[in-house]
C-alpha cells in the first residue's frame, strides 16, 4: 500500500513539473553556426532544450558583442539577413524560457553562451542591372561580366531559363565576355552563372536586339543676323520613340534655343559668327547618339553704295557691285523704271554690269540684291556714259 502511494505522488509531481526536469541549455547544433557569404542571404536558427520547453517557446536575445552587419537575431532564435562585411564576429546570446510564462507551472530560467559567425567574401556578379545595353542586328556587340570574390571563375548560361542568348552571341566560359554579332532582332532573357571551387552566383538579364543604330540627321545650319532661323534635326533607329534632345557641347548663338522634344533650333540670332556645337539625342531605350554641327550666323546683307565710274560709248565696260554679309547664292535685279544704257546688261548671278554702251547720257538705276535666306538690300546708283 505504501509503494502504491509513492507511485501516486511521483505521478503527481510528473504532472505538475513536466518541463523542469532538465536544465535549460543550447543544443549541440547551436554551437556551429554556418559560415556566411557577403551578398548572399543567410538563415539559421539557434535551438534550445530543457527548461520549460519545448512545451513553451524559447526566447533569444543578444547580450553583447557584434552580430555580422546585415544579420538580425529574432526572438525566436532565427539569425537572418544578407551579410555585408567579411570577418569573424563573436557575440553572447541569452536563451531563456518564455518570460512571462503562459503556464503557471513554468519557473523561467536562462542560459548564456558565446558564439562566433564567420563571414567570407561571397562570389557575386558585379553587373546587377537587369537590362543590358541594347544590341544592333549585324553589328558587333560585347558586354564584359565580372565577379567579386572567389578564386578561379567559370562562366555559363543557365540552360532552359528564358529565351537564351540571341543567335550570334556567346559567353566566354573563362573570361565572362559576352560577345559576337547578333543576327536576329527581338527581346531575349537569360541567366548568367559564375562559379568557383565552392560558390555560385546567378543573375538574370534581358537584352534587346534592334534593327538600326540611333542616328541623327540635321538640316541647314546657316542663319543671318536679324532673320528668323530654324534648323531641323531628326532621329531614326534605336528604340524609335521617346527622343530627348540636348546640347552635349558648345553654346548656341544668342537668340536661338533648342527644343528638347523636337530637336529644332529656332529663334532670331542677335550675334554673328561661327558656333560649333554637339547635338545629342537619347531614346526610350537609353541609347544615345550625337553629331557635330557648325552653326553659322552671317552678318546682315548690305549693298554698299560706291560711285560708279563713267563709261564711254563704243568702249567695253565692266563694273561689279560691292556687298557685305548675307548668305550665297545672291540674286541681283534693277528695280522700278530705271534702265541701263543700250549695250549694257546686269548679270543677275554675279552682280556685275558689263557690255559696250551705244548711247551717251546719265542713267539713274536702283539695284537690289537678295540672298538665299530672303534678305535684301537696295541702293540708287548713277551711271554716266560719255561720247
Q: What DSSP string describes 212-275?
A: S--EEEE---EEETTS-EEE-EEEESTTSS--EEEEEES-PPTTEEE-TTT--EEE---S-EEE
Of 167, 197, 163, nearest in space to 184 by CA: 167
Q: Write the pLDDT tens digit of every residue in 194-237.
A: 998 888 899 999 999 999 999 999 999 999 999 999 999 999 99
List Cα–Cα distances, 327 to 67, 114, 296, 305, 350, in angstroms: 76, 87, 10, 19, 14
Are 183 and 138 within 8 A, CB to CB? yes
Please give the order of strands across the beta sheet that includes 344-347: 317-320, 352-355, 344-347
The DSSP secondary-structure symbol of 333 reads E
The domains located in the chain, with CATH, are 2-120 (2.60.40.10), 124-210 (2.60.40.10), 215-298 (2.60.40.10), 302-386 (2.60.40.10)
Strand, helix or coil for residue 156: strand
pLDDT in tens, 293-330: 999 999 999 999 999 999 999 999 999 999 999 999 99
> What angle is formed at CA 297 by the lines to CA 293 and CA 300, rounded to 5 degrees?
165
Per residue in 249-276, pLDDT (tens digit) is: 999 999 999 999 999 999 999 999 999 9
| C-alpha distance from residue 350 to each of 183, 317, 346, 375 (Å) | 55, 15, 9, 17
The residues pairing with 60 across neighbouring beta strands, listed in sequence order, are: 95
Q: Is a pLDDT exceeding 90 seen at residue 345?
A: yes
pLDDT tier, 43 (very low <50, low <70, confident <90, very high otherwise): very high
Give the model's confidence band at 2: pLDDT under 50 very low, under 70 low, under 90 confident, else very high.
Answer: very low
CA distance 187 to 163: 9
* pLDDT computed for residue 150 by the predictor: 65
Contact 310, 344 (CB under 8 A): no
**pTM for this entry:** 0.65
Give percent of the chain with pLDDT exceeding 70.
94
Distance CA 39, CA 83 (A): 6
Q: Residue 142 in 3-state DSSP?
A: strand
Give the mean pLDDT of 152-168. 92
Amino acid at each position: 500500500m505504501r509503494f502504491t502511494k509513492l507511485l501516486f505522488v511521483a505521478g503527481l509531481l510528473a504532472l505538475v513539473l513536466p518541463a523542469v526536469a532538465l536544465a535549460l541549455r543550447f543544443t549541440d547544433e547551436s554551437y556551429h553556426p554556418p559560415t556566411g557569404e557577403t551578398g548572399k542571404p543567410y538563415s539559421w536558427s539557434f535551438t534550445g532544450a530543457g527548461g520549460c520547453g519545448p512545451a513553451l517557446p524559447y526566447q533569444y536575445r543578444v547580450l553583447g558583442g557584434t552580430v555580422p552587419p546585415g544579420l538580425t537575431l529574432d526572438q525566436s532564435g532565427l539569425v537572418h539577413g544578407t551579410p555585408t562585411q567579411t570577418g569573424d564576429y563573436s557575440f553572447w546570446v541569452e536563451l531563456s524560457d518564455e518570460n512571462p510564462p503562459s503556464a503557471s507551472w513554468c519557473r523561467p530560467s536562462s542560459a548564456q553562451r558565446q558564439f562566433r559567425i564567420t563571414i567570407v567574401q561571397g562570389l557575386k556578379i558585379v553587373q546587377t542591372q537587369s537590362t543590358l545595353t541594347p544590341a544592333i542586328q549585324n553589328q558587333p556587340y560585347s558586354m564584359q561580366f565580372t565577379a567579386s570574390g572567389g578564386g578561379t571563375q567559370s562562366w555559363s548560361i543557365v540552360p532552359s531559363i528564358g529565351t537564351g542568348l540571341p543567335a550570334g552571341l556567346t559567353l566566354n566560359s573563362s573570361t565572362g565576355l559576352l560577345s559576337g554579332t547578333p543576327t536576329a532582332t527581338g527581346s531575349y532573357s537569360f541567366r548568367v552563372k559564375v562559379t568557383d571551387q565552392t560558390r555560385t552566383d546567378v543573375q538574370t538579364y534581358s537584352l534587346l536586339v534592334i534593327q538600326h543604330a540611333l542616328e541623327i540627321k540635321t538640316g541647314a545650319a546657316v542663319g543671318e543676323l536679324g532673320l528668323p532661323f530654324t534648323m531641323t534635326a531628326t532621329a531614326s533607329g534605336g528604340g524609335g520613340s521617346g527622343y530627348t534632345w540636348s546640347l552635349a557641347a558648345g553654346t548656341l548663338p544668342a537668340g536661338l534655343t533648342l527644343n528638347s522634344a523636337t530637336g529644332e533650333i529656332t529663334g532670331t540670332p542677335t550675334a554673328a559668327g561661327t558656333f560649333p556645337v554637339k547635338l545629342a539625342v537619347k531614346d526610350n531605350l537609353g541609347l544615345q547618339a550625337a553629331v557635330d554641327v557648325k552653326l553659322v550666323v552671317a552678318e546682315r546683307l548690305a549693298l554698299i553704295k560706291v560711285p560708279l565710274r563713267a563709261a564711254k560709248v563704243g568702249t567695253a565696260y565692266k563694273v561689279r557691285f560691292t556687298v557685305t554679309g548675307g548668305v550665297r547664292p545672291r540674286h541681283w535685279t534693277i528695280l522700278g523704271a530705271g534702265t541701263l544704257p543700250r549695250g549694257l546688261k546686269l548679270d543677275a548671278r554675279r552682280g556685275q554690269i558689263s557690255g559696250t554702251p551705244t548711247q551717251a547720257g546719265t542713267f539713274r538705276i536702283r539695284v537690289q540684291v537678295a540672298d538665299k535666306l530672303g534678305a535684301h538690300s537696295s541702293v540708287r546708283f548713277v551711271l554716266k556714259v560719255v561720247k
